Amino acid sequence: MSASGAILTLQEQFARAIEALSIPHRGDDDRALADVFPVIAVAYSGGLDSSVLLHLAATFAREQGVRLFAFHIHHGISSNADQWQSHCRAQCERVGAEFDTRNVTLAAKDKSGVEEAARVARYQALGQLCREHGAGLLLTAHHLDDQAETVLLQMLRGSGVAGISGMDSANKAAELLGDAGLLMARPLLGASRGELEQYAQQEQVSYVEDESNSDTRYARNALRHKVMPVLAEFFPGFQERFARAAGHAQAAQRLLTVLANQDLAACLEGEYLSVPALRRLDPERVDNLLRHWLGLRGLRMPSSAWLFELRTQLLDAKYDAQLCVTHLDCHVRRYRDRVFLTPRRPPFDENTGPQPFTWRGEDKLHFPQFSGSLFFDVADTGFNAAWLRGQSLSVCLRSGGERVRLAWNRPAKSLKYHFQNMDIPAWERPYLPLIFAQEQILYAAGIGMDCHAQPKPGEESDERRIALRWQADLG
């Protein structure tokens, strides 16, 4: 293939990838691409891959009338980082892309942790920059060789189907970017590193060399410099076959996700899983369901050994056992025949006193020291809004002896009675605060609103009603 043919192919790959991303958003009126993605951003390190991506994106943006940003993240790891930042700014001026940059500080400095710390900090900063500049599409320069390296790394780590699926051509990585609406795409995923090198040479694309890329203490670099050349010698074109294998794994993962959603619908009751329903599933389906359930909450995937231990304890524990298994990001608890995901949170300070507050019409108020938010919902039943505005309110923990009357035709009962009657797990009770107006209890989180301060049945009022609702913080 000639150089000009390779360039044309790479340009076509890029254009077709972006066009494919826009199709689901165009609708019946077949909107122009600039209406679908008016602002596009490139993650731009200054290296070969992202420099080629920027060059392709700049040409495409000019043709389509799209506003293009290039975002550079300065990690401060290399002594050359300042020079790279200046280089990136100059190259953006050259190709006509708007430039912005962020300096990030990494907590982990050892070789084993710096790579992951840099990745997390980079994506968080990229997500912030996208939000600041209104970019709905973020492009990264991952290519075919990156995909092959990712698949092999995951296999060496003993990953399952999800891991060896490699990278998608596009996805919404909310946990990385901090934005559920931001689309991240890899338009060069079908192109090899050799094609990018050829394009850079032909188009005289200027780029920098990161000296850390030759440091084989990093796992990916060790594969790139020590293993991949040997594979290329004995198995030419292995990158395409690895990518094809990743595609098969992605198809299998989609089927597993469909099955997990079906099982979740059969086992989920409110916010918890039913143990009897889980027992009707094969062990492999239970594991698949638990992984999916954790993933929906944005929690890290556990090891197979941890998952086996969790499944064994959840299904084999006695009915009255109050089981708690610790995950990196949460607690998995069993209470009677229900399985809960709860935050890993320390107990409240016993000396935490009441916090006074005034309601001025807000939809919600956050109380960090009580790890939650109080919502004020407009409802058919509740407290008169004008009356509630005029009260000196407070939020506090229970101290003992409090009683709540949920309805005029029912007697006041202790909080302990309500907790037991409503089957609220014991570990939740210390985190459920009370809301008072002076000395009158208005609301007990997890139980409901006291009726004493509410209009009696039959009392007409044109004043809108406010119902109180407590929501605990997720983390």
Instruction: Assess contact for 261 and 292: CB atoms under 8 A.
Output: yes
Q: Which two tokens stand for residue 122?
A: 């980079």
Distance (Å, whole) CA 388 – CA 360: 9
The answer to whether position 159 is within a domain reads yes
Q: 206, 190, 149, 171: which is closest to 9 by C-alpha?
A: 190
Q: For residues 292 and 232, state if they share a domain.
A: no
Q: Which two tokens stand for residue 387?
A: 């009356």
Q: For residues 447 and 310, state if they share a domain.
A: no
In DSSP terms, 274 is beta-bridged to 338
The answer to whether position 456 is within a domain reads yes
Q: For residues 110 and 216, state if they share a domain.
A: yes
The answer to whether position 260 is within a domain reads no
Q: For residues 335 and 375, state if they share a domain.
A: no
Q: For residues 128 and 26, state if they share a domain.
A: yes
Domain limits for position 297: 270-343
Q: What is the pLDDT of residue 111?
A: 47
Distance (Å, whole) CA 453 – CA 381: 12
Instruction: Assess contact for 35 and 66: CB atoms under 8 A.
Output: no
The answer to whether position 64 is within a domain reads yes
- Among 343, 376, 391, residue at a domain's last position: 343
Distance (Å, whole) CA 438 – CA 392: 6
The 3-state DSSP class for residue 12 equals helix
The answer to whether position 263 is within a domain reads no
Q: What is the pLDDT of residue 457?
A: 72
Q: 174, 187, 259, 154: which is closest to 16 by C-alpha?
A: 187
What CATH code is carried by the domain that includes residue 196? 3.40.50.620
Q: For residues 85 and 219, state if they share a domain.
A: yes
Angle in degrees, 0-180, between the axes of helices 48-64 and 3-26, rounded to the nearest 10: 60
Give the Å distances, CA to CA, from 421 to 81, 425, 446. 62, 11, 11
Instruction: Assess contact for 324 and 285: CB atoms under 8 A.
Output: no
Give the Å distances, CA to CA, from 198 to 1, 75, 269. 11, 29, 56
Instruction: Assess contact for 36 and 67: CB atoms under 8 A.
Output: no
Instruction: Assess contact for 184 and 173: CB atoms under 8 A.
Output: yes
Q: For residues 192 and 79, state if they share a domain.
A: yes
The answer to whether position 324 is within a domain reads yes
The answer to whether position 165 is within a domain reads yes
Q: For residues 148 and 290, state if they share a domain.
A: no
Element (H, E) at 68: strand 67-74
State pTM to two decimals. 0.74
The answer to whether position 326 is within a domain reads yes
Q: Which two tokens stand for residue 65?
A: 């009338």
Q: Report the 10 Å Cβ neighbour count for 339.
A: 24
What CATH code is carried by the domain that includes residue 278? 1.20.59.20
In DSSP terms, 436 is beta-bridged to 394, 441
Q: What strands, in cross-sheet order, belong to the sheet with 322-326? A: 268-269, 272-274, 338-343, 330-335, 322-326
Distance (Å, whole) CA 266 – CA 255: 17
Distance (Å, whole) CA 286 – CA 290: 6
Q: For residues 187 and 230, state if they share a domain.
A: yes
Q: Give me the tens of pLDDT residue by residue for the chain, a chain 475 residues long.
A: 444 444 558 999 999 999 999 888 776 667 788 888 999 999 999 999 999 999 999 999 999 999 999 999 998 888 899 999 999 999 999 999 999 999 998 765 544 467 778 888 999 999 999 999 999 999 999 999 999 999 999 999 889 999 999 999 999 887 788 876 899 999 999 999 999 999 999 999 999 998 888 888 888 899 999 999 999 999 999 999 999 999 999 999 999 999 999 999 999 998 899 999 999 999 999 999 999 999 888 788 888 999 999 999 999 988 888 888 998 888 899 988 999 988 777 766 666 789 999 999 999 999 988 888 999 999 988 999 999 999 999 999 988 889 999 988 889 999 999 998 998 888 888 889 999 999 999 999 999 999 988 887 766 666 789 999 998 876 5
Distance (Å, whole) CA 215 – CA 225: 9
Distance (Å, whole) CA 301 – CA 328: 9
What is the sign of the dihedral through the CA atoms of 319, 320, 325 and 330? positive
Q: For residues 91 and 54, state if they share a domain.
A: yes
**Cα angle at 253 between 252 and 256, to 5 degrees?**
90
Angle in degrees, 0-180, between the axes of helices 283-296 and 304-316, rounded to the nearest 10: 110
Q: For residues 12 and 82, state if they share a domain.
A: yes
Q: What is the pLDDT of residue 3?
A: 45
Q: What is the pLDDT of residue 386?
A: 92
Q: Which two tokens stand for residue 358?
A: 């005034």
Q: For residues 229 and 376, state if they share a domain.
A: no
Domain total in the chain = 3
Distance (Å, whole) CA 125 – CA 330: 25
In DSSP terms, 73 is beta-bridged to 102
Q: What letter represents residue 363's amino acid?
A: D
Q: What is the dihedral of CA 387, 354, 343, 339, to 10 degrees?
A: -70
